[in-house]
Amino acid sequence: MIARIPVQARIVVTSVIVVLVGWQLAGQSGLVDTKFTSTPTAIAQAGWELALSGELWSNAQITLLEFVAGFVLAVVVGVPLGMLMGWRLRLRQTLEPALVALYVTPSLALLPLIVLALGIGPAAKIAMVFIEAAITIAVNAMAGIRETDPRLVRAARSFCANDFAVFRKVLFPSAMPTIMAGLRLGAGRGVIAVIVAELYGGTQGIGLQISSYGQSFVIAPLLFLTLLVAVFGYCVTTLLRVTERRFSSWKGA
């Protein structure tokens, strides 16, 4: 049974177990101060108590809905916009400076402006996820179109393909691996954005819980929620990475 598990998965599971066991032993032996680091068993107990109280599920639902709504909007807008920017020079020259400026601007710098415009409700968090993810997705979609082999485009033109046929049969399939990579990176930035928005301007959500426990210096539930966000982000990016490989398989090694 164990032999059927991929080597990479075994390495990941083994490394996680080694870290957790070492962490637990270090806490129990007094090598580290559990006031600041807690222990895996205490963190698991805190997570169980949060789940039983209903506090975890209600806040996790809010955060998940905000992330999904913002990310779906980012995909719907970012992919077509990026592909059009890669295809049309004038559009790229017009929009690329603004996209690059937003891409390098920290989320915390944008948050006060978004809160002033949309308030502190879910709309502001959705907007944060949308901005962070859509820019990354658009930049990668643009790069995917621009990196298409021009010989393929010339070959299509030689068979009298019009613009739509070139886009549908050459540019879009060629750009798909890069677009999928952009979705993966955008999802990571979206997870960060929704937590940051809830940390500094939220009334509900996992980010607000992290902020509350951090201010109260209650370490076990704080670390549980932080690890929960990390695991969620890892699962989302892993799922998108698997999808990305499917679209990239035609390229070969």
Does residue 25 belong to any structural domain of this protein? no
CATH number at residue 199: 1.10.3720.10
In angstroms, rounded to a whole number, what is the distance separating the alpha carbons of residues 84 and 96?
Answer: 12
The answer to whether residues 126 and 70 touch, using CB atoms and an 8 Å cutoff, is yes
Does residue 120 belong to any structural domain of this protein? yes
> Would you state the pLDDT for residue 251?
56
> Would you state the pLDDT for residue 149?
74
Per-residue pLDDT tens over the stretch 218-242: 888 899 999 999 999 989 888 888 8
Per-residue pLDDT tens over the stretch 20-47: 888 888 877 877 777 777 888 888 998 8
Residue ranges of the chain with pLDDT lower than 70?
Answer: 1-7, 9, 247-253
pTM: 0.84
Does residue 33 belong to any structural domain of this protein? no
In total, how many domains does the chain have? Answer: 1
Residue 179, CA distances (Å) to 52, 63, 128, 138 in order: 40, 25, 21, 8
Range of the domain at 191: 40-251
In angstroms, rounded to a whole number, what is the distance separating the alpha carbons of residues 179 and 112?
Answer: 30
Does residue 117 belong to any structural domain of this protein? yes
Which token pair is 114? 């978004």
Does residue 17 belong to any structural domain of this protein? no
Does residue 24 belong to any structural domain of this protein? no
User: What is the phi/psi pair of residue 252, to 5°?
Assistant: 80, -175
The answer to whether residues 83 and 214 touch, using CB atoms and an 8 Å cutoff, is no
Which token pair is 188? 């990571």
Does residue 47 belong to any structural domain of this protein? yes
Which token pair is 6? 């991929």
Does residue 12 belong to any structural domain of this protein? no
> Would you state the pLDDT for residue 1?
46
In angstroms, rounded to a whole number, what is the distance separating the alpha carbons of residues 145 and 195?
Answer: 32
